[in-house]
Amino acid sequence: MKSVEAPKQSTTTSSTPSNTAPNTAPQNDADKLKSISGNSQLILVTANGTSTRNATIQTFEKDGNGKWNRVMNVSGFIGKNGFGKTKEGDGKSPIGKFSIGTAFGQNGNPGTKLPWRNITSDDVWVDDSSSPLYNTWQSRSATQGQWTSAEDMTHRLYVYGFVINYNTARTPNKGSAIFFHTGSSYTLGCVATSQSNVVSILKWLDPAKSPVIIMTPTQQLANY
């Protein structure tokens, strides 16, 4: 009996386009943001709502392909009254996207590329809203009489930190002395985390990569 040859299967590939779209879903919180295309480093400080003192601090860096990769994910703290600063002394941290200013410390530069300033006993940050020096770092001896209230930069929590450029227009009573600094509890409006975390972030930050800090309740991430 002759064997019957089975029909050959077609090897023709269908030209019908696939309905499967590439995976464009956000891989991390930085991917959800629309306002950071001009930045390559991001510090993201988020909290659940506006009334908590507890925050999550994440750092991200953009690679050569434009992809945001998370570098650090740690716990931290914001103002004792949460997010939403509107005036001097309200105990709240500001909400917004801010550039990063001078780094500072009491034990010498730990290796940051940011502009660095050693804190001395003569250094103060003016928080007198009626002073023309409001929200600036000054020499106590050189500016005596030009303000009635200022914060000593030799504060125990300012071992290491950097200035968050909030209220750079120095609008009276809008708030002053907003820093990212060492700490293990709530602040009066700054952002705090452990000394080891602060030092790691200082060493990582690079002005050439246009770093920014975004501070927001998680529920408002879409605003950025």
The two three-digit tokens of residue 92, written as one number:
């709240």
Domain contains 114: yes
Place of tokens 């030092």: 199
What integer is the mean pLDDT of 1-6? Answer: 38
Tens-place pLDDT, residues 105-149: 999 999 999 999 999 999 999 999 999 999 999 999 999 999 999
Q: Which residues, at least 6 apart from 167, have a Cβ–Cβ distance to it below 8 Å?
A: 94, 135, 174, 175, 176, 178
Domain contains 174: yes
Tens-place pLDDT, residues 27-75: 899 999 999 999 999 999 999 999 999 999 999 999 999 999 999 999 9
Domain contains 120: yes
Domain contains 45: yes
Domain contains 26: no
Domain contains 7: no
- Going from the C-alpha of 158 to that of each of 3, 55, 125, 167, 168, the distances in angstroms are 90, 19, 12, 20, 20
Domain contains 9: no
Q: Is the pLDDT of residue 2 over 60?
A: no
User: What length does the chain have?
Assistant: 224
Nearest one of 116, 118, 140, 119 to 128, comparing CA atoms? 140
Domain contains 83: yes
Separation CA 215–CA 97 (nearest Å):
6
Count: domains in the chain: 1
Q: pTM score, two decimals?
A: 0.88
More confident residue, 162 or 6: 162
Q: What is the 3-state secondary structure (H, E, C) of 59-93?
A: EEEECCCCCEEEEEEEEEECECCCECCCCCCCCCE
State which residues form the domain around 76: 37-223
